[in-house]
Structure 1
Amino acid sequence: MSTATGASRLEAFAERLNVVVSAAGLVLVWMVLSRGGVIGQVPGPVAVAAAMSDLLVNPTIHGSVITSLVHIVGSFLVAAVLAVPLGLAIGWSTVVHDLLLPSLEILRPVPPIAWIPLTILVLPTMRTSIMFITFVGAFFPILLNTIRGVHEIETDYVRAVRSLGGSRADVFRHVVYPAALPSIHTGLIVGMGLAWVNLVAAEMVADQGIGRYVWVAYTSGSYANIVASVVIIGAFGYASSEIVRRIGSTQLQWTGQSDGE
């Protein structure tokens, strides 16, 4: 037991060390490029660190981050609640697949910026417009990965349950859903990342959130604040994806899968 515990702790330490080394490498490359003038007016790590220290005590950025977190959490949860059951139904039923998937595939390639004028006209508030665009970013990756998970199920498992007298509902409950979980997990992780992409794009033309703060920093020429804000977005995006990954991994221990891949 102690040997296993020691190995587990060593593995956790190695994982954290890899994260630190990766971040340090990124900063090093950034510093070299900025000092060499390769990236133009983009400030280096020292200037951005100074701007970051100011932002950490700035109430404006605090409010912007909180607003964005409300947008991202609400939109992502709605996307997951709708996309997972819908993806299971489309993957499992040929009738549902033929009725719904073609229309959804038409909507999927529409970029988030193209939704903005329509949502402003249709939805009652700017907040609901932002959340809808963020929802779209998360919805399709979750949906498509769920469908793929159902389609990749071995038919032998389905035949085994049916040969033992199991109903169609039994097959769905004991085979389809558990077997699709790894793909659903991957879709949730990817969906969270794309939700952040859509969120920032939507907030840039709105009057709230971290995306708006980035745009204001750009128009005022505060380049260090722009990069510092991007770092903040990246940090929260990474943290939220990691939370989704770890929660999902608790449901996938039977697969030996721990990273959602």
Structure 2
Amino acid sequence: MESRRRLVRLGSILAVPVLWFVASRFGLIAGLPTPVEVADAYVAELYRDDFWISTIRSTIRVLASFVVAAAVAVPLGLLIGRYTIFADLTFPALEMLRPIPPIAWIPFTILVLPAAELSIMFITFLGAFFPILLNTIQGARGVEVEYPRAAQSLGANSYQTFRHVIFPGALPAIHAGMIVGMGLAWVNLIAAEMVAGGTGLGFLTWSAYTSGSYPTIIVGVITIGLLGAISSALVRLLGDWQIGWTEPRPN
């Protein structure tokens, strides 16, 4: 069964370049570079320092913003999820900010923050923050009432109940939010780099578009996709390690 699933997954991956070749070979999509042209451009980019600088810079931005977002969203979500008065004081304002598109924040952050780097990281932070926050809130609220009561009846104080009952009970939802948040962090990062960044994969891709280097655009897109998939897989592995006591999730 597992080998069959792997074959299906491999087939789905191989279908992409096949369809891509057909579309470019027969002109189904005007201006679409062929896989061979993109492969040649990719090899050329691997020898350019700018490509590696952009890749490293984007990766650092995403990881740093994601860590800060998780460090803020998880405790905040736990407090909102368990304490009504705290939720009434904080959640309405956060809920008003959540629907604002990240692009709308870029002019504001450029004006307010002293450096473009901080603007980019703030936009990336927002992409990860709200999915983690909302999932943490739902996870904290989803803990059965009997569990904290049972812990307290055994002598656990409020901190021990929160640490050993509420937090572990919310972990599956928290990690689901982290997986979504990591993907949205990459989305926001690329948008911010295209507008405000002088480096990064978003800026590299946009520069390729303005210069008419269409194969390089695909190189940037593929690199972003690979890094996004790898980072999401790492978050998923972290979650599987931390919540190994739950039922295995389908990969």
Given the two structures, how large is their TM-score scaled by the length of structure 2? Answer: 0.93
Q: What amino acid is the match of 1:214?
A: T
The CA RMSD over aligned residues, in Å, is 1.8
Q: What amino acid is the match of 1:109?
A: P
Pairing 1:233–2:224 present:
yes
Q: Distance in 2 between matches of 1:219 and 1:145?
A: 39
Deviation at 1:22, TM superposition (A): 2.7
Q: 2:184 aligns with which of 183, 191, 194?
A: 194
Q: How does 1:19-38 map to 2 (within 5 A)?
A: 19-38=9-28
Instruction: Give the conservation status (yes or no) of the 8 Å contact 1:252–1:258.
Output: no
Q: What amino acid is the match of 2:52?
A: H
Q: Distance in 1 between matches of 2:4 and 2:133?
A: 34
Identity of aligned residues (%): 52
Q: 1:244 aligns with which of 232, 235, 242?
A: 235
Given the two structures, how large is their TM-score scaled by the length of structure 1? Answer: 0.90
Q: Distance in 1 between matches of 2:103 and 2:6?
A: 36
CA deviation digits over 1:114-157, x for unaligned, max 9? 11111011111010110000001010011011011111112222
Pairing 1:101–2:98 present:
no
Q: Distance in 1 between matches of 2:110 and 2:176?
A: 32
Q: What amino acid is the match of 1:230?
A: V
Q: Distance in 2 between matches of 1:61 and 1:14?
A: 37
CA deviation digits over 1:62-104, x for unaligned, max 9? 1111111121111111101111111111101101111111101
Q: 1:166 aligns with which of 153, 156, 179?
A: 156
Instruction: Give the conservation status (yes or no) of the 8 Å contact 1:245–1:259.
Output: no
Q: 2:33 aligns with which of 43, 57, 60?
A: 43
Structure 1 residues 109, 230: closer, same or farther in 2, change over 3 A? same
Deviation at 1:37, TM superposition (A): 2.5
Deviation at 1:45, TM superposition (A): 1.6
Q: Which runs of 5 or more residues in structure 2 are unaligned?
A: none
Q: 1:55 aligns with which of 45, 56, 62?
A: 45
Q: Distance in 2 between matches of 1:53 and 1:259?
A: 35
Q: Distance in 2 between matches of 1:49 and 1:126?
A: 32
Matched with 1:5 is none
Q: How does 1:72-151 map to 2 (within 5 A)?
A: 72-151=62-141
Q: Which runs of 5 or more residues in structure 1 are unaligned?
A: 1-9
Structure 1 residues 18, 63: closer, same or farther in 2, change over 3 A? farther
In the alignment of these two chains, the number of paired residues is 250
